[in-house]
């Protein structure tokens, strides 16, 4: 029996987790074609990789086609500059891509949100993360896979002083922090996303940080 081969679409491929997801997909035997939607070309080349310069404000639905979609888009309130700009990146773009991909036949949608995501949260950041989770669950995908990491560890392309301090503290106290709340390597989050999405799980499933530590 010939094993199923799939195509993947990645948004947020230049971020900490997204870059690792692309790496994992390129080495996976399950995926034969990987599209990435980016604002400017990536500095990598691979026979399975198709890099598409994309305008998220004027999306071309014909380009948003794959079996599995990996959404690693995300920003911070500080970088976004306003609640409206933050909402656009963390809710509007992912939701629009999810709708269009589903229309074009996508079966699975995997997204990185955050620990504490909750549509009823008092905190705007967590509330928006929870809102996108709930919206995606209602779209009708075969599988909606939600990954909620705690503080992410890894080499970022941009300097975030607060997160660097947080990383240092998290590493120092790692041994006494409950596993669910421990900082996690972006590599593990990416490995969990690709491995679980490539399996045949179905439904709306949430993976907290402690489960991703196993990958």
Give the C-alpha separation, 152 to 188, whole Å.
Answer: 10
pLDDT digits (tens, 9 = 90+) for 118-177: 999 999 999 999 999 999 999 999 999 999 999 898 775 555 555 555 555 445 445 556
Give the C-alpha separation, 32 to 72, whole Å.
Answer: 20
pLDDT digits (tens, 9 = 90+) for 178-213: 556 678 999 999 999 999 999 989 999 999 999 999
Give the C-alpha separation, 88 to 132, whole Å.
Answer: 11
What is the structure's pLDDT at 151? 87
Which residues make Cβ contacts (< 8 Å) with residue 59, sequence separation at least 6? 96, 97, 100
State yes or no: pLDDT of 32 exceeds 70.
yes
What is the structure's pLDDT at 182? 76
Look up residue 116 and give its DSSP letter. Answer: T
Which residues make Cβ contacts (< 8 Å) with residue 58, sequence separation at least 6? none
pLDDT digits (tens, 9 = 90+) for 51-109: 999 999 999 999 999 999 999 999 888 888 899 999 999 999 999 999 999 999 999 99
Q: 40: which 2 tokens?
A: 């400017």
Q: 163: which 2 tokens?
A: 């997160």
State yes or no: pLDDT of 2 exceeds 50.
no
State yes or no: pLDDT of 1 exceeds 70.
no
* C-alpha pair distances (Å), 33 with each of 50, 151, 196: 7, 31, 18
* Entry pTM: 0.88
Which domains are present in the chain? Answer: 6-208 (3.40.50.720)
What is the structure's pLDDT at 41? 85
């Amino acid at each position: 029996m010939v094993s199923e081969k799939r195509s993947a679409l990645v948004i947020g491929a230049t971020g900490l987790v997204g870059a690792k997801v692309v790496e994992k997909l390129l080495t996976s035997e399950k995926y034969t074609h990987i599209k990435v939607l980016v604002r400017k070309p990536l500095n990598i080349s691979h026979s399975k990789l198709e890099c598409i310069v994309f305008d998220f404000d004027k999306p071309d639905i014909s380009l948003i086609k794959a079996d599995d979609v990996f959404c690693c888009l995300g920003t911070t309130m500080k970088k976004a500059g306003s609640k409206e700009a933050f909402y656009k990146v963390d809710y509007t773009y992912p939701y629009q891509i999810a709708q269009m991909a589903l229309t074009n036949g996508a079966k699975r949608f995997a997204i990185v949100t955050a620990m504490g995501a909750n549509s009823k949260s008092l905190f705007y950041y967590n509330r928006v993360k929870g809102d996108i989770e709930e919206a995606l669950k209602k779209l009708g995908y075969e599988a909606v896979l939600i990954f909620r990491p705690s503080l992410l560890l890894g080499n970022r392309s941009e300097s975030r002083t607060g997160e660097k301090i947080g990383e240092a503290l998290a590493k120092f106290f790692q041994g006494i922090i409950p596993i669910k709340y421990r900082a996690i390597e972006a590599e593990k989050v990416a490995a969990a996303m690709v491995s679980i999405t490539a399996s045949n799980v179905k439904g709306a499933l949430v993976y907290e940080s402690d489960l991703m530590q196993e990958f």
